[in-house]
Amino acid sequence: MRHILVTGGAGFIGSNLIGELLNRDFKVTAIDNFDDFYSRGQKELNIKPFETNPDFKFIEGDIRETADLEQIPDIHIIIHLAAKAGVRPSIKNPILYQDVNVSGTQTLLEFAKSREIKQFIFASSSSVYGINENVPWNEEEKLLPISPYASTKLSGEMLGHVYSKLYGIRFLALRFFTVYGPGQRPDLAIHKFFKSILNNQPIPVFGDGSTSRDYTFVGDTVKGLIAAIDYDKSDFEIINLGNHNTVTLSELIEAVEDVCGKKAQINRLEEQPGDVPRTYADISKAENLLNYHPSTNLKDGLKEFYRWYNTNQAILQ
């Protein structure tokens, strides 16, 4: 039974991943420091289903702290999802983002080196592409990040390249594109839109609604992560995990309205610094290397989120 470390395991993507790993008979250790970016209650809800599973161990700790990492038992693979999240908050506190996302990643790579762990999967972000009209974006595009968050993700990729070359750690950087679904963070648009509409509150809309995103259902992202566990054809790769489909903000709002059966009140705001106008993934590399084929359309994914939100509203308010 292979043993996997998932950093950020109490978070949105981490908890969805852990559920699938345990279903596939992996042993999982998760570490999370319950960062106060959003409520501890939601994170505890995320990992509650695994607490009695004998193949699951949870460590409340910080990836920047060597003493916390020393609590981790022998493992075979690292899936590194832990990070300070969010483009806009990173502009307000760039030094903290640098510390957690870059120094934390390097500390974890040092841990992998010392433990001779040879498979390291890193959660990168589509934000590294910045403003680039040459869509859909492939992994060879020139990168022009426009937020501290994006720059930290690019730094993490490059650190992985260094450790791959120097120490033989296979490093796979998976660039996520606007992941959504059950367990999604409350600061993200889909979660905010459902909550506001259902509570008869206006939703914040930045710009004229023409910005677009490549929304990717969390179950599809998890499939890509799991496929990366067995990848062994090269020692360093950067791979997009998107949906190869772009949806405007106005179209997203209409879809959310349709799923919850209520019209949104719009609070129109100015565009925000650090936000890119469009994201759109070329996923041909993921198809070729990981046999990655996203299969969840936006409407079905929104229904899954809505069911989760309704079930857990008392905790999420």
Q: Which of 38, 97, 129, 149 is catalytic?
A: 149
What separation in angstroms does the CA of 229 have from each of 21, 84, 120? 11, 24, 9
Indicate if 180 belongs to the active site.
no
CB of 156 within 8 A of CB of 122? yes
- Burial call 276-297: b when 16+ CB within 10 Å, e when fewer: bebbbbbbebbeebbebebebe
SS3 label, residue 282? coil
Degrees, nearest 5: CA angle 81-191-12? 20
What separation in angstroms does the CA of 283 have from each of 126, 159, 197? 12, 23, 33
CB of 197 within 8 A of CB of 264? yes
Q: Report, as residue numbers or ranges, the catalytic residues.
A: 149
